[in-house]
Chain A
Amino acid sequence: MNTGINILETRGLRKHFGDLAAVAGVDLNFGEGELTAVIGPNGAGKTTFFNLVTGKLKPTAGKVYFRGRDITGLTPYQIARKGISRIFQITNLFPELTVYENIRVAVLSKMKETAKMLTFDRNLKRANDETDRILDTIGLSDKGNYLCGVISHGDQRLVETGVALAIDPVLLLLDEPTGGMGPEETDEMVKFIRGLIEKQDITILLVEHDMSVVFSIAERIVVMHQGEIIADGKPYEIKADKGVREAYLGEE
């Protein structure tokens, strides 16, 4: 699948919080259409890495390139518009809007309809169809009218994913999509992520603690430990890696 141009590339990426180097010089390349899992113990710097890529945090040093272009230091909305979307580890949605409206906000953003003030929102047919389509994709068509704050945790994770997908991202960052889910919900989510790679031309980065999830869907695994990359390779290579076993897998 790798076409030669990297979708995402980081060079010497660092983030310091006081004396702590949460991300301590990360050089990574991600090719088009790859599904890479980033694993590592708590505090390894995985979420910080996501925050640096999506503009939530500004790096202390280093560069982030998206499709060959420098995006270091851009604001989150500029980065999102270029085609990087994410879900958050802790569900981060619009609680007092309905499920439908949550998705719709992202759909309107993608269609560049957000500045329309003198048209009724419900009359935008294209946006209606697209919102319905996304609701259908995440399997929540029948829950569109519920307020997002009252639906189950598993459904909220799906809405979170739907919102991230609605802007048609080139690169999707999933921060613990199955976090806090029961086994059945986890299976659903895994199936859903598999479906994404099969149906769409999308590059996915996944942070996940559930190793069964990681080893069942990742094509490549990057292991972080104390802000650094300690291993990077195919799942079977990672399983066999001694350093990884000591730093991480062995702890379980």
Chain B
Amino acid sequence: MGTGKWVGVFAALNIRSKLFWIIIAILALALIPFYLGDFLVVFVTEMLIMALFAISLNLLFGYTGLLSFGHAAYFSVGAYTTGLFLLRVSPSLPLAFLLAIILATLSAWIIGFFCVRLDEIYFAMLTLAFGMMVHTILWKWDSLTGGADGLVGIPRPILNFFGLKIGLSSITNYYYFTLIIVGICIFILWVIVNSPFGLILKSIRENHERVEFVGISMRRYRLFSFAISGCFCGVAGALFAPFEMSIAPDIAFWTKSAEPVFMSLLGGMRIFVGPAVGAAIYMYLKEIISGYTELWMIYLGAVLIGFVIFLPGGIVGFIHRKLYAVGEETP
């Protein structure tokens, strides 16, 4: 009996074992507040939020084959809904999140309805146009959104977890709250990409015309993917508002939509965790380079160009290929 058990343990310790890496990652993340200072905990919290943003976008980008340049819209809908609810209605985080998720999904559903009819560059341009519309609304609707100043002083309320009251005002507590929510969302997305539905999305990415001839409505599945992706971007936005405590319309600007696209390309859009790793690298590079120069965009851009040209599968894609020799299997 003992031997079989130990074989399992050793298998899990193998660096080719995905479980090994998952356990290491969870342990490292759970212990972060113990070995990093508050400044870095803030940084890692934002990294987690951006990782969720990127993985959510990648459901549409890497898995369904649709490049959206407008997903900051759903991130912002999530952020503004949470911010406004906490500021003006009630300091209840669960209700704020629930409303944020509903509105982000709904807006993604409505915008997606029009976008999924188009392919490739036309799809990308339409998502960009809708994204800019949302940005303009947030910027110009002074009475609701605070216009260019945005929302200021969003509280981090006390979370009532089945009678257990947890104050989220300390960054450590907000970090754990973020870690748990992001963890749950990424787990759900992971189940989705491994479900029958996930395979249909991949087949649409591979050949969106052919899939119709086996009886699948390509548009309907694209729309599902769009809405689910928007929903989880909304969760990322909902986490972002109380984290920053003040938000402005720049989070809906198209450059914010481009960030998760870059992250997916950096990390690898064909590997589930690729965008999350891409998010960590992107934010780290941005932090380092912007410490030296105002022109950080130029250097970051150069790094990205290098990646797209020399590592088209992204960093995780590259490591994955080296470890598992994927793609070298030919008859």
Instruction: Identify the A interface with B (CB < 8 A).
Output: 54, 56, 75-77, 80-81, 85-86, 88, 92-97, 101-102, 104-106, 108-110, 113-122, 124, 127, 143, 145-147, 150-152, 155, 163-164, 166-167
B225 vs chain A, min Cβ distance (A) = 10
List 25 contacting pairs A-B, 8 Å CB cutoff, sorted by A.
A77-B215, A80-B214, A86-B213, A93-B206, A94-B211, A96-B206, A97-B202, A97-B206, A106-B215, A108-B200, A109-B214, A110-B214, A114-B197, A114-B221, A115-B224, A117-B192, A117-B195, A119-B195, A120-B195, A121-B196, A121-B199, A145-B329, A146-B330, A150-B330, A155-B331
A133–B150 Cα gap in the complex (Å)? 59
- A94-B207, A105-B200, A146-B329 given as contacts; is B212 within 8 A of A118 (CB)? no
- A76-B212, A85-B213, A167-B215 given as contacts; is B194 within 8 A of A143 (CB)? no
Residues in B whose Cβ lies below 8 Å from that of A164: 213-214
Ordered nearest first, which 5 A-B pairs have the shortest CB separation?
A94-B206, A80-B215, A76-B212, A106-B214, A81-B215
Q: Is the CB of B212 within 8 A of A105?
A: no
Q: Is the CB of B192 within 8 A of A76?
A: no
Chain B residue at smallest Cβ distance from A142: B331
Q: Is the CB of A94 within 8 A of B330?
A: no
Residues in B whose Cβ lies below 8 Å from that of A75: 212, 217
Contact with A152, one of B206, B215, B327, B331 (Cβ below 8 angstroms) = B331
Interface flag for B140 (CB, 8 Å): no
A83 vs chain B, min Cβ distance (A) = 9
A86–B215 Cα gap in the complex (Å)? 11
A152–B331 Cα gap in the complex (Å)? 8
Known: A109-B214, A109-B215, A167-B215. 19 other contacts (CB 8 A): A86-B213, A93-B207, A96-B206, A97-B202, A105-B200, A105-B203, A105-B216, A113-B196, A114-B221, A115-B224, A116-B197, A117-B195, A118-B188, A118-B195, A121-B198, A145-B329, A150-B331, A163-B214, A166-B214
Mark out the residues of chain B between 198 and 251 whose CB falls within 8 Å of any chain A CB in the assembled complex. 198-200, 202-203, 206-207, 209-218, 221, 224, 228
A75–B217 Cα gap in the complex (Å)? 9
- A97-B202, A101-B202 given as contacts; is B197 within 8 A of A92 (CB)? no
A117–B225 Cα gap in the complex (Å)? 11
- A93-B207, A94-B207, A97-B206 given as contacts; is B199 within 8 A of A104 (CB)? yes
Q: Is the CB of A92 within 8 A of B209?
A: yes
B120 vs chain A, min Cβ distance (A) = 17
Residues in B whose Cβ lies below 8 Å from that of A116: 195-197
Contact with B214, one of A85, A121, A143, A146 (Cβ below 8 angstroms) = A85
A1–B212 Cα gap in the complex (Å)? 31
Interface flag for B40 (CB, 8 Å): no
Instruction: Identify the B interface with A (CB < 8 A).
Output: 188, 191-192, 194-200, 202-203, 206-207, 209-218, 221, 224, 228, 327, 329-331
Q: Is the CB of B329 within 8 A of A77?
A: no
A44–B164 Cα gap in the complex (Å)? 76
Residues in A whose Cβ lies below 8 Å from that of B202: 94, 97, 101
B271 vs chain A, min Cβ distance (A) = 13
Chain A residue at smallest Cβ distance from B203: A105
Most buried by A among B191, B206, B209: B206
- A109-B215, A124-B196 given as contacts; is B206 within 8 A of A95 (CB)? yes
A81 vs chain B, min Cβ distance (A) = 4
Q: Is the CB of B195 within 8 A of A121?
A: yes
A146–B224 Cα gap in the complex (Å)? 29
A121–B190 Cα gap in the complex (Å)? 12
A167–B214 Cα gap in the complex (Å)? 7
Residues in A whose Cβ lies below 8 Å from that of B224: 115
Most buried by B among A105, A109, A119, A145: A105
Chain A residue at smallest Cβ distance from B200: A114
Chain A residue at smallest Cβ distance from B328: A150
Q: Is the CB of A114 within 8 A of B191?
A: no
A88 vs chain B, min Cβ distance (A) = 8
A145–B329 Cα gap in the complex (Å)? 9
Residues in B whose Cβ lies below 8 Å from that of A94: 202-203, 206-207, 210-211
Residues in A whose Cβ lies below 8 Å from that of B213: 54, 56, 76-77, 80, 85-86, 164
